[in-house]
Structure 1
């Protein structure tokens, strides 16, 4: 299988990198949950050389991730692991040691709410104190859409899968806080997206 190309990944990489360069400045090992096409990993890893960048996703996405890795290798980039939120797979263990950061992009609105709850519970359980979680994607605020395009996107998501849809930022922040993950920054991003940065407290 050849590399799958998602235009949205190419469009948002530079703004996300600017956030991650600050948020992950003192981290060493990041788990990317939902690596998708693999584009983000080959862009971020060489530009964050102090990190080991571990990809993960469902098995059907691994071929594209591996194809991107073969085309654009980096010494700190790791092949994808199988990780299914809400499935039977356990939290990944690697030879590089435990993760002190997690990054996930455009996943919370694809998952059902129970999977969002499990993702945040797992991250809260597994990250050490000081660990960082960065979440990129569209969110509602105060129960309202931030743009007409987000409203239309939410409708398309729910038409395909009624369990999916844009999440309320406040609900995600409250759920994260229950797991010891406190909101540190909320960055406005292009195309009506956000990057939420959480820090694990003891």
Structure 2
């Protein structure tokens, strides 16, 4: 019925393991901003299963048609149509949306490192105290790949575009700490991925 919808098998494979953690990590949140909604598959799966919050999709304009196609087929009262957000174009224009959580999947290794830096610089300003940050994807630890498949994936990414590549957890965590976030969880996920959860510190905390 909707042959034009984009499709990611990885999204189908990882959506339930991610949701299992988000149901806990976002239990006290109200408004979630999804950075880089991609095909839109995560949004239409997560939003109705997290009915206590509003799920705001975002992406570059080129992906909005596909995201809207998924929303058209699987609408939810708490799911909002995509806003145009580019990590490198700050400040982000979110209309009236005031997120207390941000979720993003498989973006840090696609964006240039300078864009990852811009992402965290924006989060430092945008996100309120006690905000939750959830990032899903592959990460290196201690400068090493966690699996042979991740090493092959990194090589493939760099062949597609030199600025792409699996990021070092330690480097990403430093950006998060500089932006005022403290790591709360590092969850091992299927297919050698991680789901990292940070909480933004209070300005009056240590």
TM-score interval for Structure 1 and Structure 2 normalised by the shorter chain: over 0.9
Runs ≥4 in structure 1, deviation > 2 angstroms?
A: 92-95
Q: Is the 8 A contact 1:181 1:200 kept in 2?
A: yes
RMSD: 1.1
Distance 1:41 1:140 in 2: 26
Aligned runs of 1:86-165 on 2, under 5 Å? 86=88, 88=89, 90-95=91-96, 97-165=97-165
Question: Secondary structure of the residue that 1:198 maps to in structure 2?
Answer: strand
Cα deviation per residue 1:106-134 (whole Å; 9 max; x = unaligned)?
A: 00000111000010111121111100010
**In structure 2, what is the equivalent of residue 64 of structure 1?**
66
**In structure 2, what is the equivalent of residue 42 of structure 1?**
44
Question: Secondary structure of the residue that 2:198 maps to in structure 1?
Answer: strand
Q: Is the 8 A contact 1:82 1:89 kept in 2?
A: no
Change (3 A) 1:133 1:184: same
Aligned runs of 1:156-175 on 2, under 5 Å? 156-175=156-175
Distance 1:2 1:63 in 2: 9
Distance 2:197 2:118 in 1: 18
Cα deviation per residue 1:39-82 (whole Å; 9 max; x = unaligned)?
A: 00000000000010000000010011000000000000000000
Distance 1:197 1:13 in 2: 16
TM-score, length-normalised on structure 1? 0.96
Q: How many residues get paired? A: 200
